[in-house]
Copies of this chain bind each other. A is one copy, B any other.
């Protein structure tokens, strides 16, 4: 029984990246591996890249796919143990997870942070509910606190683009009109711990990520200084973690520009708000890797599915 819930489920990042790059060369080389197997995608939130790239990866492996928007097409789930379910929720995660497991061979789940309550989000109720009660492997398609498929795709992109033994990589906060989750930033940080790189995080005061995740990683509040001689700049907005889920400010000075970027390559997970998070000139210029990052989403999830199908993603 092997899940892909976080970066911790990767036994060797270099090996996985290498295998993903081989799949990218020959996407249908393992067309028989998934034959007769069903992947079920359960979306509790919207999705474009994850929705389509995961279907494509499964098809590349010969799997059948079922897609369900859980909230609008199914029933509201209860997660609390011992609850008297006399309100709006019709089904408990205990039944839902056991039942869905019987209709598929792998279940993949997207359930974003609500950003109302830190403890609730960190409990990862949907993902952990499926992990606990499902009888088939569970894949995280972005949960409250992590987006490990994105981070794996980013690792592939870095491997393809980097030519230095120890590149400088900067994670730079950007402004955004809405409060966004920390999942992408968290998983990028976790992935960077598995890289040989000079890694720096930069953001305004008040936007510190969960200190348990960033412990020991250099933090630089001065964006300009952080970006000096960077080889790769990963830009992302997130809401405050300390003042949980709040938008503390939207200072346009933090937007990424060609000038700030210098000679570095630009990365972002998409969707991205042009001229708020990053200037048009960066996205439309030759240093942006965002389209290739999205392309690598297919091969990131394909290597995960392949390893689950092979029953070989032991830690």
Please give the count of copies of this chain that the complex contains. 3
Asked if A91 meets B270 with Cβ closer than 8 Å, knowing A47-B73, A73-B69, A103-B298, the reply is yes
Asked if A86 meets B38 with Cβ closer than 8 Å, knowing A49-B99, A99-B48, the reply is no
Q: Which residues of A contact B (CB under 8 A)?
A: 28, 31, 36, 38, 40, 43, 46-49, 51-53, 55-56, 59, 64, 66, 68-69, 72-75, 78, 81-87, 89-92, 94-96, 98-100, 102-104, 177, 250, 270-276, 280, 283-284, 290-291, 294-295, 298
Are B86 and A68 in contact (CB-based, < 8 A)? no
Are A91 and B283 in contact (CB-based, < 8 A)? no
Q: Which residues of B contact A46 (CB under 8 A)?
A: 72-75
Complex formed: what's the CA distance from A138 to B94 in Å? 33
Complex formed: what's the CA distance from A53 to B104 in Å? 9
* Residue from B28, B31, B103, B298 in contact with A52 in the complex, judged by beta carbons closer than 8 Å: B103
* Residue from B91, B104, B271, B290 in contact with A90 in the complex, judged by beta carbons closer than 8 Å: B271
The distance from the CB of A110 to the nearest CB of chain B, in whole angstroms, is 11
Are B86 and A291 in contact (CB-based, < 8 A)? no
Q: List 6 A-B contacts (CB under 8 A).
A: A28-B36, A55-B103, A95-B271, A95-B290, A95-B291, A102-B291
Asked if A59 meets B82 with Cβ closer than 8 Å, knowing A48-B91, A90-B273, the reply is no
Report, nearest first, the 10 A-B pairs whose CB atoms are least far apart: A91-B271, A85-B273, A52-B103, A48-B74, A84-B275, A99-B294, A102-B295, A90-B271, A56-B103, A59-B64
